């Protein structure tokens, strides 16, 4: 294992800090799962990490590729199967994913299905009563975030400049939209959904908690304890709400400010759905 990869990956740093180094899901070198106590019960933590020797070359820098998508699905479904007849343990997705893998064989072999399988597994866990929490510690990009984290009951994030959420990586988006990265950043200041930074994202109402004053790169013991307490509180909040859907993303005060059109569409739908 290269030291570059381990110093590089916030996913690995935070998985280790919260739950130990974990073990790679069978058949992958990049999907790590670890069990650790959280708020007095056992929880399963899952992270995707880079591997410069990944057998698929297009997934060597922390991307969610074919093995990663199906590996995530396997890791999550193992928890669902194990808890079928007992208390549904929390699942924490530790999110630091640069993008989905861009490649020719990825398309041919169905990376869309691999990522869908991961989303399916997380949603199935949520619907089965597992509290699912996503913890954003680095990049949460595009299809990779859809596969790993976006189906969680609650999304938490570290307030850090390296925590980024977007539909496309900065450089790629600049090339596709024929803008410079600086222009994109300026647009993001005017148009919150176009911003990459986590503070703008928090303003959209999709985050449950933004965790301030924690070192994202090199967390100390106190940082880790604070984050663990926030995760446990999120699990308690999920259980208390009884909700198994994503409706909390529409009901927060931030959502009413940040995405009122999403709420208005649903209000009018309710009015017109049955009307003749």
Partner 1 sequence: MNAIATRNSFIELTARDRARALLDEGSFREILGPFDRLVSPWLPLQGIPTQSDDGVVLARGRIDGEPAVVAAIESAYQGGSMGEVAGAKIAGALERALADHERGIPTRPVILFETGGVRLQEANLGLAAIAEIQAGILALRPHVPVVGVISGMVGCFGGMSLAATLCSTLIVTRQARLGMNGPEVIEQEAGIEELDSSDRKLIWSLIGGEQRRAAGFVDALVADDAGAIAEAVRAAFAAGVTGTYRSAAVELYRARLAAIDPAAPPTPETLRELWGEESMS
Q: Which of residues 188-227 bind partner 1 (CB under 8 A)?
A: 190-195, 201, 204, 206
Please identify, using beta-carbon distances, which residue of 210 and 232 lies nearer to partner 1: 210
Measured CA to CA, the distance from residue 94 to residue 133 in angstroms comes to 9
Q: Contact with partner 1 (CB under 8 A): which of 42, 53, 167, 222?
A: 167
Q: How many CB atoms lie within 10 A of CB 16?
A: 20
175 binds partner 1 (CB under 8 A): yes
Residue 23 is encoded by which pair of tokens?
């073990």
Coil vs helix vs strand at 249: helix
Measured CA to CA, the distance from residue 153 to residue 135 in angstroms comes to 11
Please identify, using beta-carbon distances, which residue of 162 and 193 lies nearer to partner 1: 193
Q: Contact with partner 1 (CB under 8 A): which of 91, 137, 146, 227?
A: 146
162 binds partner 1 (CB under 8 A): no
Please identify, using beta-carbon distances, which residue of 1 and 167 lies nearer to partner 1: 167
120 binds partner 1 (CB under 8 A): yes
Give the pairing type, strands 164-166 and 209-211: unpaired
Q: How many CB atoms lie within 10 A of CB 122?
A: 28
Residue 174 is encoded by which pair of tokens?
């600049």
Measured CA to CA, the distance from residue 195 to residue 204 in angstroms comes to 11
Instruction: Give the interface segment with partner 1, choosing from 12-20, 34-42, 161-169, 227-235 (CB under 8 A).
Output: 161-169
Please identify, using beta-carbon distances, which residue of 9 and 142 lies nearer to partner 1: 142
Q: Contact with partner 1 (CB under 8 A): which of 112, 181, 218, 236?
A: 112
Please identify, using beta-carbon distances, which residue of 21 and 57 lies nearer to partner 1: 57
Q: What is the per-residue burial (b if ≥16 Cβ within 10 Å, else e) of 128-142?
A: eebbbbbbbbbbbbb
Q: Which of residues 36-55 bind partner 1 (CB under 8 A)?
A: 55
Measured CA to CA, the distance from residue 63 to residue 102 in angstroms comes to 9
Give the number of residues in contact with partner 1, rule: CB under 8 A.
77
Please identify, using beta-carbon distances, which residue of 213 and 245 lies nearer to partner 1: 245
Coil vs helix vs strand at 78: helix
Q: Which of residues 220-239 bind partner 1 (CB under 8 A)?
A: none
Measured CA to CA, the distance from residue 188 to residue 26 in angstroms comes to 40
107 binds partner 1 (CB under 8 A): yes
């Amino acid at each position: 294992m290269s030291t570059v990869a381990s110093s590089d990956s916030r996913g690995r740093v935070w998985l280790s800090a919260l739950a130990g180094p974990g073990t790679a899901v069978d058949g992958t070198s990049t999907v790590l799962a670890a069990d650790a106590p959280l708020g007095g019960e056992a929880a399963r933590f899952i992270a995707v990490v880079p591997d410069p020797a990944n057998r698929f070359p297009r997934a060597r820098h922390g991307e969610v590729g074919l093995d990663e998508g199906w590996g995530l699905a396997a890791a999550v479904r193992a928890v669902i199967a194990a808890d079928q007849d007992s208390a549904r343990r929390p699942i924490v997705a530790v999110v630091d994913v640069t993008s989905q893998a861009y490649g020719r064989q990825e398309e041919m072999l169905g990376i869309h299905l691999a990522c869908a399988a991961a989303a399916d597994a997380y949603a199935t866990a949520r619907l089965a009563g597992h509290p699912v929490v996503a913890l954003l510690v680095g990049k949460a990009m595009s299809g990779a975030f859809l596969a790993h984290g976006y189906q969680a009951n609650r999304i938490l994030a570290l307030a850090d400049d390296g925590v980024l959420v977007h539909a496309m990586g900065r450089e790629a988006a600049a090339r596709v939209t024929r803008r410079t990265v600086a222009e994109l950043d300026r647009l993001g200041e005017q148009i919150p959904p176009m911003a990459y930074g986590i503070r703008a994202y928090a303003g959209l109402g999709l985050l449950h908690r933004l965790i301030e004053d924690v070192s994202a790169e090199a967390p100390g013991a106190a940082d880790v304890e604070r984050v663990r307490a926030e995760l446990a509180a999120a699990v308690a909040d999920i259980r208390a709400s009884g909700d198994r859907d994503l409706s909390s993303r529409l009901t927060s005060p931030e959502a009413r400010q940040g995405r009122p059109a999403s709420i208005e569409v649903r209000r009018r739908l309710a009015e017109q759905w049955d009307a003749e």
